[in-house]
């Protein structure tokens, strides 16, 4: 429900740049194109930073399958790709429509060649040059990824007939992992919905987590990162937030969509997903909307409070000095957010999804 709401809302929001362009074309036609371009990029920028962030349709993501074309994204971000697409479309519109190629059948070949070379050729050339200069650094690390093929919403317990309980599920995961690792494996990554139920982060006796910890202890060369829903209990001095829950006894706690770092013979550490899916994992502008639509969202299967995020980006480090930052599903598409992990010393991004 939350996702459907955001798709519909996003469709309405994407009308705004075109309405602005249409209005400016009547009021100030000379700057209408520039204003429309600025309005569109502003919407995409907002979709990366505000509480209703929904950047799936940002144009710059269209190059995801051809990263070799956009090796300058580290300078411009994904908005650079959006600007490139808009400029290219504007240039070809001018060549084919304004110069009469469509209506009069006259193609100005020189203009077309210049457009292709300048608008498309130069960015591709820059990307090629930057890509050729990249060199792998550091020591290679062997990583095992386990990603079972099941729906996390409807089937969190794997469908094999012999798997009846949560411990059986974890045992199945461990068996699959055992068959994949080698003596050189240093990192193991499991999915976002691996550990079932909700676990208190202070509960060191949690049997599911102990089951994983025991296996990791038997493989001292390994570090395992997995996903789970975790809870933290707030102290009396901790301030309440829109996603803080108070039970009938007056105890306050918060839910988190977490990545858990399990190391040999050490207590696990938790990272809390920090960029949450609007309407699904967090209610945007909760202080305003929660009293109005909170009960409706809950009745329809969404959320009225949501998960609590983490302020700082985490880096999981091992004894051999390798460092991986967890990125939980949705937050991995936010370049600025992911870059903060790297600035904190991360050497790789471990996507838990």
First to last CA, the chain: 20
Domains of the chain, by residue range, sit at 2-132, 142-274+309-352
Strand, helix or coil for residue 87: helix
Contact between residue 179 and residue 169 where contact means Cβ atoms under 8 Å apart: no
Count the alpha carbons within 13 Å of 341 in the hemisphere toward its beta carbon: 26
Q: What is the pLDDT of residue 336?
A: 87
In whole angstroms, give the CA distance from residue 29 to residue 139.
57
Q: What is the pLDDT of residue 69?
A: 95
State pLDDT tens for residues 81-112.
999 999 898 888 777 776 565 556 666 777 77
- Is the pTM higher than 0.85? The answer reads no
Q: What is the pLDDT of residue 292?
A: 66
Which residues are registered as beta bridge partners of 246?
252
Q: What is the pLDDT of residue 102?
A: 59
How confident is the model over 310-338, as a mean pLDDT? Answer: 85
Residue 51 reports pLDDT greater than 90: no
Residue 3 reports pLDDT greater than 90: no
CATH class of the domain whose range is 142-274+309-352: alpha beta
Which residues are registered as beta bridge partners of 185?
142
Q: How confident is residue 216, by pLDDT bands cut at 50, 70 and 90?
A: very high
Q: Between these two residues, 46 and 197, which has the higher pLDDT value?
A: 46
Neighbours of 175 (CB within 10 A): 10
Q: How confident is residue 4, by pLDDT bands cut at 50, 70 and 90?
A: confident
Q: What is the pLDDT of residue 40?
A: 93
């Amino acid at each position: 429900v939350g996702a459907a709401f955001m798709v519909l809302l996003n469709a309405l929001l994407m009308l705004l740049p075109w309405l602005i362009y249409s209005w400016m074309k009547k009021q100030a036609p000379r700057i209408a194109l520039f204003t429309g371009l600025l309005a569109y990029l502003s919407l995409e920028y907002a979709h990366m930073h505000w509480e209703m962030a929904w950047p799936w349709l940002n144009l710059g993501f269209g190059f995801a399958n051809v990263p070799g074309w956009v090796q300058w994204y580290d300078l411009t971000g994904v908005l650079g790709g959006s600007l490139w697409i808009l400029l290219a479309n504007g240039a070809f519109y001018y060549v084919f429509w304004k110069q009469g190629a469509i209506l009069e059948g006259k193609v100005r070949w020189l203009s077309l060649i210049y457009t292709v070379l300048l608008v498309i050729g130069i960015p591709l050339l820059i990307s090629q040059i930057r890509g050729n200069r990249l060199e792998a650094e550091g020591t290679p690390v062997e990583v095992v990824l386990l990603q079972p093929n099941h729906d996390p919403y409807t089937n969190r317990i794997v469908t094999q007939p012999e798997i009846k309980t949560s411990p059986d599920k974890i045992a199945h995961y461990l068996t699959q992992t055992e068959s994949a690792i080698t003596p050189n494996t240093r990192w193991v990554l499991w999915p976002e919905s691996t550990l079932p139920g909700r676990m208190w982060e202070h509960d060191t006796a949690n049997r599911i987590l102990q089951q994983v910890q025991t296996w990791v202890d038997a493989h001292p060369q390994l570090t395992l990162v997995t996903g789970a829903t975790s809870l933290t209990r707030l102290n009396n001095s901790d301030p309440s937030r829109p996603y803080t829950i108070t039970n009938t006894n007056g105890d306050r706690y918060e839910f988190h969509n977490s990545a858990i770092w399990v190391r040999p013979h050490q207590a696990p550490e938790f990272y809390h997903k920090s960029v949450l899916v609007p309407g699904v994992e967090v209610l945007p502008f909760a202080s305003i909307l929660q009293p109005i639509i909170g009960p409706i969202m809950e009745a329809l299967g969404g959320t009225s409070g949501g998960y609590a995020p983490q302020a700082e980006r985490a880096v999981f480090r091992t004894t051999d000095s390798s460092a991986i930052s967890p990125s939980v599903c949705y937050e991995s598409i936010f370049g600025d957010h992911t870059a903060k992990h790297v600035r904190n010393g991360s050497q790789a991004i471990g996507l838990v999804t």
